[in-house]
Structure 1
Amino acid sequence: MPDNAPDHDLPPLADTPPRSGLSRRNFLVGASAASVLAAAGWGTAPKAVAAPGQKLVKIAIMGTSDIHANALNWDYYKDAAYSDSAKNAIGLARVSSLVNQVRADVGRERTLLFDAGDTLQGTPLGFYFATVDPVTTSGAIHPMAAQFNAIGYDAVALGNHEFNYGLDFLDNWISQLDAPALAANAVHAGTTVPRYEPFVIKTLHAGRGLPPIRVGVLGLTNPGIVIWDKANVSGQVDVLDVVESAARWVPVMRRRGVDVVVVSVHAGDSGLSSYGSDLPVENASALLAERVPGIDVILFGHAHNDVPQRIVTNTATGKQVVMSEPAKWGQRLSVFDLDLAFSRGSWTVLSASAHSVNANTVEDDPALVAVVQAQHDAVVAYVNTPVATSTETLSAAESCWKDTAILDYVNHVQIETVSKAIAGSAEASLPIISIAAPFNRAATFPAGQVTIRDVAGLYIYDNTLLASVLTGAQIKDYLEYSAKYFLTVAPDAPIAPASWTNALNTPDYNFDQLSGVTYDIDISQPQGSRIANLAWAGVPVAADQRFVVAVNNYRQSGGGGFPHIAGAPVVYNAQVAIREAIVAYASDTGVIDPADFHVVNWKLVRAGTPVF
């Protein structure tokens, strides 16, 4: 029976084992500890001392997460090498250099490498090979599969963004990987049978005369998938509770005789959820460490934080569990340093610590650049394709506190698309309004030539367009929920709009703005009582008045927890990508002129007085 096959004492899994057959690697581990160069950023781990009769072995477990289709240290939106104020570097080519360094320092035969998910979506590279020139049609190897294989990952956990392009696309990507793709809690709908491999066991041979060290890695993904990618997984995949799933599978791994249990989980460590309490906890990695006995190491992701080390004590055993989250996009590599001792016929973890290494300390690995160079060049050419001419510069810099023309352009395209689609339908007589949010404050349409790159910089997510029907009362509730984005600001406080945003840790992408109705947001009022003067065509909106609302699939599926929209009747869903709709509209019209679409229909006020 293969190492990842289910135990037969778990009846729901016995009849339908998870898919297997993906390649495995076995490494030889030496019996002596290895030093690591300080230049590589290796932290100082507690020194384990072997007792009389014990044999001591040191291993290193490396991890990445939230790569988000960043293959190279490149910003496709700026058409330049990536740069930020912290001098970070990104991309799997940088990660490869870090991995090579750790393997050289520790010994390749003493290392393992895992990923905690969100690999396929996030840059024009990911978008291009999923939709423009899909690898499922061309037969090409996906660049992120090619790089994962070239680096030599030992296992890959699935993140929520792996499901963005549908199950067939995901299955194709998994088939291209040399490493197993893990997600124990992503099950066939209506069952507890994993659709993907739940775990894998890697055998590390500790040296002459010593039994092998068996390292098991359990993969877990995010319950929010069933909301965020409802259209792709509904009726096919359920995602079970992270903690309950680990409690089920860790004992299975222990019964298989693993000496070290690693969990690679696509969940942050806050214990909170962005979608309320209807689903299991979204960011459950610390709860996992606290509540499930038998775990030694947790590699986690999803929250895009840099957490070099967090120690959580398991409440059942009192044992300390070591956790680490590497910063997004390949900016960091998490490294776990474990000392194991062999005595009386078994291996014991004597000490474990974690730290992160910074990708800005190395250069791109030329071999990993070469793996994707041709695909990268194709995407660069694509994103620099001109689509229209703008009559003036349009900036999103103030879109988080002002009604701007560039965000109105998104709403304008959405309204135009929905209006044409529902012509002749029962809903055609209803007013059409649109919802958009400021995804990227740095987005700009330059005066003159506007390219696909400019559009992609404005609309950075691979959302599709839908339309639902909401009442006036529901729209009022929706806007009140959106307005919690702002702090409460006194009427006479100095004007400092940038400092008023992101209240309650609300991200910019959850500040939804509506076009087609007029309204004020009174930020001097408490949250929940801020929307005033809501009107359509100059007439106050009636509570029972019905509107067709253009909205993206993330929001319509419940993403962000906005009221009413997830349960509203859908009247349009042609699976049109919003970014592509913007590109097509711009190409068809040829000119982007704010005079054609920009209407200041909402404003910030304090005690009824406009802020600007």
Structure 2
Amino acid sequence: MSNSSPHRRWLRAGVVTTAAALAVTLASPATAGAGHGADKGPRSYTLTVMGTTDLHGNAENWDYFKNAEYDDSAHNDVGLAKISTLVDQVRADRGERNTLLLDAGDTIQGTSLAYYFAKVEPISKTVEHPMAAAMNAIGYDAAALGNHEFNYGIPLLRTFQKQLDFPLLGANAIDEATGRPAFAPYVIKTVKPPQGPPIHVGILGLTNPGIAIWDKANVQGKMRFDGLVEQARRYVPEMRARGADVVIVSAHSGADTSSSYGDALPFPENAASLVAQQVPGIDAILVGHAHQEIAQRVVTNQATGKPVVLSEPLRWGMRLSVFDVNLSFARGRWSVQGVSSKLLNANTVPEDPRIVKLLADDQAKVVEYVDGVIGTSKEPMSAATARYEDTAALDFINHVQAESVKADLTGADAQLPVLSIAAPFNRDAAIPAGQVSVRDVAGLYIYDNTLLAIRLSGAQVKAYLEKSAEYFKPVAGPGTYASSDLTNAVTSTAPTGTPDYNYDVMAGLDQPLTYDIDLTKPVGSRIVGLAYGGAPVADDQQFVVAINNYRQSGGGNFPGVATAPVLVNRQQEIRQLLIDWVTAHQVIDPALFAASNPDWRLTAAGQALAVTP
């Protein structure tokens, strides 16, 4: 691919590496030498700053696992090709010279395309990353580092950085050897209005302190990640001293203050609102990381009383944030009079054919890869009956999750038995006997959940299973039942029926976890004979439980989960873990993880129920 771009306006990111070299000028041939004084310049001007975040390897509006255009229940569209069309529309409306385009991180991980160019055909001096090619062609001006930028190691990240025509910013990514920023902390762009004096726009990039935990294997001893507030307090005054009339922060950190890692780090994971509240001199923040949709949120700075506008454009290129920064010129300088923001929806426009054409060869490679064989299975595995009987398909998911978690445990936690939960997400999912493709494996796990490990007591494990068993309707006694007469029970929180994804099967790694679900008993008392390795589970017994981020954050309202200690959180996508496992092992043998089936069963008064599809 070529790095040529009709929108290229900035020096390459590799050139902007020191504080002394952080000023880059935007000037058109018609106005570059204008040099208007205060008495001749305009009294007002609107600068438009556009922003994306959490693109996660979505270059085109494509679902690689369905081999079809992306679609979801809200009919969102994704990808840079869509964003390009929105950006072109804004530039045409506002005037290209009056706009900037930023990103708030998590760019090179998350899709089969991202995986392919990290693991299958890694980017290099001769292999350009499709995300770099597309972002260069669209004409980005700066981007912040996301935590997922570090998933494939620092060397690959540095290669990606060199391929960008714009700076990759990370003020709080610190080189352990030198104590200096490992990436440019900020850049100052000089925008020239059609008439009048130049406007200096400071862009500060902040990333997530959680990288130190989530990618410890890649960054320990090489980089540390300080707090967002602390680094903003250092660099915002420096940017203002260097002449910034406007300060925009691109922060890979959610708006609502919280941390999935508890007190394991002294700095919060989600701190964008704290930065706005506690650091004077910021006009707007492009928010990332949390995958939330925030058209506009106004936060008052505690020191100055001035408003700071936050916007987060959801994820994957579904939205484009648009900030309008209104400035006035008086007494020889520009000052911000107000900021507003809104979101544009990518599903309202077609893909930019330039970007689609640019990525055509890469897209074809990745589609071929997803269709490609990565292993074999000794037996077929289907999730069709996983809602009401123990299946090898869910046992496979639980085995991979538990095995991955166990490898990351340390200290006393490494001695605890490991359990795992999985839900029957996709009734159509099936792994064939014989050759298995990436798409086959991905069908078992249709969501983009990531893996965590928490610690639960035996009593909490039982309470969790009781909550899960609410999925079933009661029965009068033993017999044969149609599955529809047993599953998807109506509850006070699920008036149209409990969805399949809110029913979890729990399994053990080194020893089987066994239990009956007696549907003649009342809700809350259905779990019978709960045992681990053949021994009854004691209330005070301690377990490590592999769980997805949706559950751990409270999805489904399972008891004890949201407040349980988090032992492992590398933010690894479970779907990719399954693909990686098959790629590494080559053979799926259900005897490895499903030999003791059934570990759980539906019963009535101690007798197993017969269930028909």
Shorter-chain TM-score: which interval?
0.7 to 0.9
**RMSD of aligned alpha carbons:** 5.0
1:476 aligns with 2:458: yes
Change (3 A) 1:105 1:284: same
For residues 196-254 of structure 1, give each alpha carbon's deviation from its aligned partner in whole angstroms, at most 9, with x where no partner exists: 1111110001244x321000011111121112111111222221111222122111111
Question: 2: distance between equivalents of 1:235 and 1:394?
Answer: 44
For residues 571-599 of structure 1, give each alpha carbon's deviation from its aligned partner in whole angstroms, at most 9, with x where no partner exists: xxxxx9552222454x535x879995573
1:68 to 44, 51, 56: 56
Where does residue 86 of structure 2 map in the other structure? 98
Task: Return the letter of the residue paired with 1:536.
Answer: Y
SS in structure 2 opposite 1:329? coil
Give TM-score scaled by structure 2 length. 0.74
1:86 aligns with 2:74: yes
1:127 to 107, 115, 118: 115
Where does residue 183 of structure 1 map in the other structure? 170
1:281 aligns with 2:268: yes
Change (3 A) 1:312 1:292: same
Change (3 A) 1:498 1:165: farther
Where does residue 581 of structure 2 map in the other structure? 581
Gaps of 5+ in 1: 5-16, 32-50, 422-429, 503-507, 568-575
Matches for 1:90-239 after TM superposition, within 5 Å: 90-136=78-124, 139-189=126-176, 193-208=180-195, 210-239=196-225
For residues 446-483 of structure 1, give each alpha carbon's deviation from its aligned partner in whole angstroms, at most 9, with x where no partner exists: 667742112134357999999x9x9xx97638847976
Task: Return the letter of the residue paired with 2:599.
Answer: N
Change (3 A) 1:190 1:479: farther
Question: 2: distance between equivalents of 1:437 and 1:84?
Answer: 22
Question: 1: distance between equivalents of 2:403 and 2:238?
Answer: 55
1:435 to 420, 431, 445: 420
2:236 to 230, 247, 250: 250
Where does residue 26 of structure 1 map in the other structure? 26
- Confirm or deny: 8 A CA contact 2:22 2:187 kept in the other structure: no
Q: CA deviation at 1:608?
A: 11
Give TM-score scaled by structure 1 length. 0.74
Change (3 A) 1:463 1:299: closer
* Of 167-176 and 73-82, the range deviating more from structure 2: 167-176
Where does residue 352 of structure 1 map in the other structure? 339
1:333 aligns with 2:326: no
SS in structure 1 opposite 2:233? helix
- Confirm or deny: 8 A CA contact 1:412 1:597 kept in the other structure: no
1:444 aligns with 2:429: yes
SS in structure 2 opposite 1:135? coil
* Of 368-377 and 483-492, the range deviating more from structure 2: 483-492
1:366 aligns with 2:353: yes
Change (3 A) 1:551 1:100: same
SS in structure 2 opposite 1:295? coil
Where does residue 514 of structure 2 map in the other structure? 518
Where does residue 321 of structure 1 map in the other structure? 308
Q: CA deviation at 1:135?
A: 1.5
Q: CA deviation at 1:371?
A: 2.0
| Count of aligned pairs | 544
Gaps of 5+ in 2: 1-9, 12-16, 32-38, 408-414, 476-485, 495-500, 554-560, 570-575
Task: Return the letter of the residue paired with 1:373.
Answer: A
Task: Return the letter of the residue paired with 1:579.
Answer: I
Where does residue 295 of structure 2 map in the other structure? 308
- Confirm or deny: 8 A CA contact 1:70 1:92 kept in the other structure: yes
- Confirm or deny: 8 A CA contact 1:20 1:197 kept in the other structure: no
- Confirm or deny: 8 A CA contact 1:462 1:578 kept in the other structure: no
- Confirm or deny: 8 A CA contact 2:52 2:317 kept in the other structure: yes
Change (3 A) 1:83 1:462: closer
Question: 2: distance between equivalents of 1:195 and 1:481?
Answer: 47
SS in structure 2 opposite 1:270? coil
SS in structure 1 opposite 2:587? helix
